[in-house]
A and B are shown apart, each in its own frame.
Chain A
Amino acid sequence: MSSTKSQQEVPEKVFQEFLQNLTDAGISVELVTRLRNVLLVNKTFTEIALKGAVLGEELVP
């Protein structure tokens, strides 16, 4: 294993790949942006924050 691998925390790596996979799966840019903000910018991993990102401002029935 190379010891010169650039440093990236494992969660960060998982989140980056997750967001890329969402984009590849055709999930809307808005939703991916919201999730990016929660996971990589604000780093708030609460259920409320994630729910807000997943469901957005769509009318919750």
Chain B
Amino acid sequence: MISVESIVIKEFRGIRDLTLNFKGKNFAVCGPNGTGKSGVVDALEFALTGNVSRLSGEGMGDVSLKQHGPHVDKRNDPDKARVTVKVLIHSLGKTVTIERNLKAPSEVNVTPNDPAALEVLRQVAAHPEVVLSRRELIRYVLATPGKRAEEVQALLHLDQVEKVRGSLQKIANSCDKQLIALNTVSAQASENLKRALNITELTKEQALKAVNVQRAIIGLEALTDLTSIKDGMAVSSTAKPQRIPKAQAIADIKAAHEAIIEITGDSTVMRASEVIDDLIALGEDPAVVASVQRESLYVTGIGLLEAEACPLCDMPWNLEELKKRIQVKIDHLKEISRKRKVVEAKIAPLIVTIRKTQAAISTLAGYAPLATPPVPVEIFRAFNSSCIASIERLIAILPFAETIAVLANVSIVSQVVLDAINNLEKAVVALPESSKQDAAREWLTVAHERLDVFREAVRKQKVAKEQAEKARQISNIYATTSDKVLTGIYTAVEKDFGSLYRFVNRGDEDKFEAKLIPSLGKLGFDVDFYGRGFFPPGAYHSEGHQDSMGFCLYLALMRYTKGSAFTFAVLDDVLMSVDASHRREVCALLKKEFPNTQFIMTTHDPIWLRHMRTEKLITGRAAIQFRNWDVNNGPTRWDDRDVWTEIDDYLKVNDVRTAAGLLRHYLEYTSGELCHRLRALVEFRGDAQYQLGELLPAAIKRMRELYKRAKTAANSWNRQDVVKEIADREAKFTVLADTSNAEQWQVNVAVHYNSWDNLSKQDFEPVVRAFKDLLAGFMCQDCSEYLRVLPDRETPELVRCECGKTAINLSEKKS
């Protein structure tokens, strides 16, 4: 997608002013801890995404990007904190400049402001995972399955996939619930209609038969369908006072009595009592009362258990022991959840009984105001509300105390309601009998109304059923699809991860395999341990192996996610626990498997930097070495031009002591590099603490030996011209070495550089010049790179530079 050409960092984090030219190639930033390497990483992330995850991640408390992103001396001047990167957008073949400042981190200034480029940069900004630190690395490997799933989901942007899955499930569930309620409504409407028609089974035949009997009484022709029961009935032109249809009202009152008998009967009382006992038993378990909240707390908590001490009180804990204990609690709550479902199943028939009673009494509410004397309709309405509240409580089930209270009263119908029903019944019974014709008209009117209600209920039920089926089907198709795609992803990533890891550990774990095991909201990760079985990565593998696992998993995920667009990544000291030989393999891996990806890598370890160079992961000057950092100036780098200029600056102000210290420090660094490149013999030190007196003379001696060997080789090929050329180089080098007097350190390492401090400016200037010239003697005159011996092991064959213009043969002609 992109590669980064250069970066300019001003007043950002610990950096005052730094320009790095990556030239779209791999690049290494090396330096001891606290020298500003991570500042470069942060600046890259900021320029590309507008954020610095290190300042906004977990546990950062009051630290904020805007307040703490600028250099500490510019903390009140965030617009001075600026990062400018020049990136090449591969797909467009365009180079654009991106600039951000910390005053408005989300505002990005892109030049040229090309819409296509902006779209690419938007996609880059959506992938902050291009920056990887060891902190993130370990999250992939040592995290709990739940946490790992979160990390991997974030990297793959699976949160959207899971969100849609959850929403579609919710929609299907809510449609199911709606259907259940409408089924009840429809059943009640059916019962009411049957009662009005006075039939036992709701069939078209029975309904028509009943309707036509009544129609015949008032001289209407028989119907053949139930389109309009009242078809042909005269519509009254004058409003008549409404009256209670006596026969229907009596039937409805009878139904209400039957419902009351059911709800107050032994069966209901016993069922309610049984459920009360179950709830009391559940409630006696102290963990149950807040089971839902606690289960959620435990599940969240076990996912967060990572540190060796409590994050709240810092008391150390036994992580494995704690996890086991919490898992027992979660399992216990799952058992509670199972018991709760059993109770819910027992409650369901009670809810049906309450609904039936509520529907029956609601019907009577329509007659109440028409009765003489009128029956207070509020009594029926209050009962109706009470039934609805009871149903809601029984569905909610928690808190148990309130549910138990509802169950204790579920079979009690208050005397006020019973009296109201009795009073209504008396009033209805007292009504004069209608004429046969009036009774038939009333019958047909009620039947017509209830048929309408029934039809509407059935229509709604049908729509709800169709919706529920469709929603469930869609949810199921989505679940199947996403499971298939994700399983495919995990299988592919698992395979690629195994292959990458085997490459890094070839010869040691050639048969290594891994298993990514997805389950609901979790992602298990087990790895083979030398054929002894599959275990979590942290179980038996060393920390170094875990680091390389995390790294390989990251690479596999990125390669899957971004495919050919995985063109850029920042690796912030990610392999600190990996040993030298495996780092070398990592270099080879990156070079072989990701030739089109630009890696910007930081490391505190100069040896790994050398590996990057020898494996040609980085070439030429594609590296920077920070030597120190101070709050006023930010990082200082080992750079020839910088060092000599800096030494001159100190001498200008007569600060010989500082200039001498800097020269000594730089010569130590450079001498080590020269010994490495020239394969010089140096007395081995287990602590790797080599002094200048041990390194520089060895490098000079080696250079002389190489010239000698080169002349011998040239003679064997009978190339006198080359012999002369090498002799000239050797003579010049000898003069430089002698002038510096460096080899005398072998005699007494303590004398010379310590005595520099006591020199005057005039005495020290020639010393500086001599060493500057000496170091130049180790360089190619064209590319100014230090020469190196090739190959880096076995018999030396060649001395050459990076550009290839200096190439001195060391191999003699075979006779």
Contacts and interface: CB of A to CB of B under 8 A. Distances in A.
Contact of B170 (A35, A47, A59, A61): A47
Interface string B146-175: 000000000011101101100110110001
A21 B481 contact: yes
B563 interface: yes
A1 B559 contact: yes
Contact of B481 (A2, A6, A14, A61): A14
15 contacts: A1-B492, A4-B564, A6-B564, A8-B563, A10-B489, A11-B158, A15-B164, A18-B481, A21-B480, A27-B473, A47-B171, A50-B168, A50-B171, A51-B171, A55-B471
B463 A50 contact: no
B474 A54 contact: yes
Given A18-B482, A61-B178, A61-B464, A10 B163 contact: no
Contact of A61 (B461, B495, B559): B461
B474 A1 contact: no
B628 interface: no
A6, A7, A14, A21 pick with most chain B CB within 10 angstroms: A14
A3, A21, A39 pick with most chain B CB within 10 angstroms: A3
Contacts of B566: 3
A50 B169 CA distance: 11
Interface string A4-37: 1111111101110110011001010001000100
Interface string B538-566: 00000000000000000010011111111
B467 A58 contact: yes
Interface in B553-603: 556, 559-566, 593-594, 596
Given A21-B477, A58-B467, A45 B160 contact: yes
Which 6 A-B pairs have CB atoms at the shortest separation, nearest pair first? A61-B460, A5-B563, A7-B565, A11-B160, A47-B167, A18-B481
A12 to B, nearest CB: 9
Given A10-B157, A50-B171, A60-B467, 8 more contacts: A2-B563, A4-B563, A5-B564, A7-B1, A7-B563, A7-B564, A14-B482, A54-B168
Nearest to A50: B167
A61 B564 CA distance: 50
Contacts of A18: 477-478, 481-482
Contacts of B461: 61
Contacts of B171: 47, 50-51, 54-55
Nearest to B155: A10
Contacts of B474: 22, 27, 31, 35, 54
Interface in B1-55: 1
A46 interface: yes
Contacts of A60: 463, 467
Contacts of A4: 563-564
A9 B560 CA distance: 10
B563 A54 contact: no
Interface of B: 1, 156-158, 160-161, 163-164, 167-168, 170-171, 175, 178, 182, 460-461, 463-464, 467, 470-471, 473-474, 477-478, 480-482, 484-486, 489, 492, 495-496, 556, 559-566, 593-594, 596
Contacts of B163: 45
Contacts of B480: 21
Given A21-B480, A25-B473, A59 B463 contact: yes
A25 B564 CA distance: 33
B39 to A, nearest CB: 30
A25 to B, nearest CB: 6
A14 B496 contact: no
Nearest to A8: B563
Nearest to B495: A1
Contacts of A47: 167, 170-171
A44 B492 CA distance: 29
Contacts of A1: 492, 495-496, 556, 559-560
B300 to A, nearest CB: 22
A15 B156 CA distance: 14
Contact of A17 (B160, B467, B485, B562): B485
B559 A3 contact: yes
Given A3-B594, A61-B182, A11 B157 contact: yes
A14 B461 CA distance: 33
A55 B467 contact: yes
Contact of A46 (B157, B167, B495, B559): B167
Nearest to B181: A61
B527 to A, nearest CB: 19
Nearest to A17: B481
Contact of B470 (A14, A54, A59): A54
A25 B481 CA distance: 12
Contacts of A59: 463
Contact of B562 (A7, A11, A46, A58): A7
A17 B108 CA distance: 35
Contacts of A46: 167
A8 B561 CA distance: 7
A10, A13, A22, A51 pick with most chain B CB within 10 angstroms: A10
A60 B461 CA distance: 10
Given A1-B496, A45-B167, A47-B171, A10 B156 contact: yes
Given A1-B496, A9-B157, A25-B473, A50 B559 contact: no
A39 B486 CA distance: 17
A6 B566 CA distance: 10
B757 to A, nearest CB: 56
Contact of A45 (B164, B564, B565): B164
A10 B158 contact: yes
A39 B485 contact: no
Nearest to B163: A45
A61 to B, nearest CB: 4
B485 A14 contact: yes
A39 B477 CA distance: 15
B704 to A, nearest CB: 47
A16 B7 CA distance: 38
B161 A14 contact: yes
A17 B474 CA distance: 13
Nearest to A4: B564
Contacts of A25: 473, 477
Contacts of B562: 7
A55 B276 CA distance: 40
A60 B471 CA distance: 13
A27 B466 CA distance: 12
Contacts of A61: 178, 182, 460-461, 463-464, 467
A6 B467 CA distance: 38
Given A11-B157, A18-B477, A27-B474, A6 B563 contact: yes
